[in-house]
Structure formats: structure tokens, C-alpha cells
Structure 1
């Protein structure tokens, strides 16, 4: 068990991020990220650096009417939080889902870095 206050616990911070994502609340979502946040497509392709880049990417994603990330499992080790999710998306070719592993490095009370590994895209409504 961590001796950090719940608001600074890495799992709580990542949960706030996930809740804001599912609520499509861009301001609440951005409040979970450090100013110098970096997002990577796993393992090392930088896709966004800094809150302006992340905000621009997420503002487009959050416009999807069916967007929802369903948490399948979470592992926490120190300041690393690894989520396994099924994400419902509105892809250009239609409604579908994609499996994803998201790994977040939490520094203080914010997410400093995130790595995202995508699985197979499946078309159709989620099961």
C-alpha cells in the first residue's frame, strides 16, 4: 500500500485521466498531464510533446460520439501504471474497437509520459 495521499497516488491519477477521457472532458483530461508530457506509440515513436500537442491530438479524438475506453486490467509498480483496455472508436470506416496497452509514468501529481501499444482493430459494435 502506498503512503501517498489518494490524490497523488499514481493509480488515482491515471483513473482520473481515464474518467475524463470517457467523459470527453478535455480540460479535466489535460489537468492530469505535466506541462512537458510526452506521448509515444510503443516503443519509442514520439507522437506528442507538451500539453499543446497532446491537447490538439485529444481534442480531435474526444469529438468521436462513441468514444469509450473499457478498462480490462491495471498493474501498478511504483510510479508506473499499465492499463489494458478495449477502446470503442469511430474510425473513418465505421464503428469499431481496438485493444490497447497504455503505460503511464507519473511524476508528482501528473502524468509525465505515456506509451501506447495498439492491437487489432475490429469493426462493429463492442461485445
Structure 2
């Protein structure tokens, strides 16, 4: 089976996120994926098990959870999404996310919140 392109990989995780399909969501990530918050480079999640635990207990429990894609750019092996995340609170959360894809899997994620980090 051919490796997923960066766009295919990010599309897979995005669709699985909106379906709250944890196994399919995690299948888009490398085992050693790391997630950071910019601009301070705070490490948010380290490794696929941490992703699974976080999304199972903190995100996919929200029945109204969904990401609305406002725009997307693909630059080489990087995909940058501008999103509104619905269902975490009364107002959507605006964010940008940069995914770095290597060998068909998401290896690094950089979250860029619109507001101050919480």
C-alpha cells in the first residue's frame, strides 16, 4: 500500500476527528508524534499513547465536538489548517494547526491558538 500524501493524511485525521473515531484518528499519526503550542513551544502531547489518552478523555467525550475548516494550505510535507473548534464551550475556539507529515504519518503538530493559551 502506498504512503498517504501529507494532504491525505491530514484529511484522514480531520474526518476521524469529526466522527470521534479514535482508532481511525490515531492511524494518521506516527508512534512518536509530538504536539507543541506556538509561539512558546510548550510540549502538549508526546507519543501516540498520549494522543489516545487525551482525545479519549478530553475531546471525543463532547457530543457536539466538530472542527470547521476555514482554510488549508499545503507546503511540501506541511499542512496548515485554520479551524474553528465547536463543542468545547459556548463559543467556538479559533486555532491554526500545522501538521508535519513524514513517511505518510503525522510526526509533529504545532497548535497556534488565536487567543491567549489556557
TM-score higher than 0.5? yes
Preserved contact between residue 105 and residue 113 of structure 1 (Cα < 8 Å): yes
Alignment of 1:1-127 (within 5 A): 8-43=4-39, 44-60=41-57, 61-91=59-89, 95-120=90-115
* 1:52 match: secondary structure: helix
* 1:63 match: secondary structure: coil
Distance 2:66 2:72 in 1: 17
Runs of 4+ in 1 over 6 A off after TM superposition: none
Distance 1:58 1:101 in 2: 18
Preserved contact between residue 6 and residue 12 of structure 1 (Cα < 8 Å): no
Distance 1:98 1:86 in 2: 5
Distance 2:73 2:88 in 1: 28
- The count of aligned residue pairs is 114
* 1:96 match: secondary structure: coil
State the 1:90 CA deviation: 2.7
- In structure 2, the CA distance between the partners of 1:7 and 1:47, relative to structure 1 (3 Å rule), is same
Distance 1:59 1:115 in 2: 20
Q: Which of 1 and 2 has greater Rg? A: 1
Deviates more, 1:51-60 or 1:23-32: 51-60
Going by fraction, where is strand more abundant, 1 or 2? 1
Normalised by the length of structure 1, the TM-score is 0.84
- Which one has more relative contact order, counting CA pairs under 8 Å at least 6 apart? 2
Preserved contact between residue 3 and residue 103 of structure 2 (Cα < 8 Å): no
